[in-house]
Amino acid sequence: MKSILIVEDDRRIAQNISRGLTEEGYRTEVAYEGYNGRDLALRESFDLLILDINLPGLNGYEICRNVRAEKPHLPIIMLTALGEIEDKVEGLQRGADDYLVKPFDFRELNARIAACFRRLELLGNQATDEVLRIANLEINISTKQVRRDNIPIDLTAREFALLEYLARNRGRVVSKMDLAEKVWSLNFDPGTNVVEVYINYLRKKVDRDFDPKLIHTRAGMGYILKVD
């Protein structure tokens, strides 16, 4: 049975989510305050985290950042009343896998949870002894480890997913729309710069101190991973 931690200070909403997920066959635990939610997420073994942003004690952005640093592969869904593009970008940049705005339909939340678990299962099925290599870059899908010139490179879960998608499409220009949909499972919004931000993160870690340069921009088209 998969377990889900709900960090939400509105007790009515938290209990409704907990009751609905229990009926769907999940085990749930609820925290109503930020510090307690963070500590539970870090201490206990949960399969997914549902996280509000405006919380007493410690806000959801900071919890997301703390948890992502310690548990890079734990799925995190942010559930919040903050629906502006800037809020969504902030949440995704802090490491959230998905972002659902209140008010919401429980069926959509349930579908997004199922989608997170399907992606994990798909990655697990693909991961058996699979290593992607481009020039001196090595991406181990099974261990989620990245090396360049045999030097380990630490990536977040989202950075790894982005690099993996570029590597699987090596030599092909991939649009920002494609990346947003495939890596973030989002309908592309031209007002968000989350793709550019994460491409910049990857360049600093994977390309800046190494040769040859592998991540290239094609103006007006997208990005391509290849050896020039």
Q: 0.75 exceeded by the pTM?
A: no
- Residues 75 and 15 reside in one and the same domain: yes
Number of domains in the chain: 2
The angle that helices 85-93 and 60-70 make with each other, rounded to 10 degrees, is: 30
pLDDT tens digit sequence for 98-132: 888 888 899 999 999 998 888 777 666 554 457 89
Residue 226, helix vs strand vs coil: coil
- Residues 112 and 166 reside in one and the same domain: no
- Residues 44 and 93 reside in one and the same domain: yes
- Residues 135 and 216 reside in one and the same domain: yes
- Residues 135 and 206 reside in one and the same domain: yes
- Residues 54 and 100 reside in one and the same domain: yes
* CATH, residue 152: 1.10.10.10
CB neighbourhood size of 155 (10 A): 20
Bridge partners of residue 150, in order along the sequence? none
Domain that holds residue 53: 3-124
* CATH, residue 77: 3.40.50.2300
- Residues 16 and 76 reside in one and the same domain: yes
pLDDT tens digit sequence for 189-223: 666 788 999 999 999 999 999 999 999 999 989 99
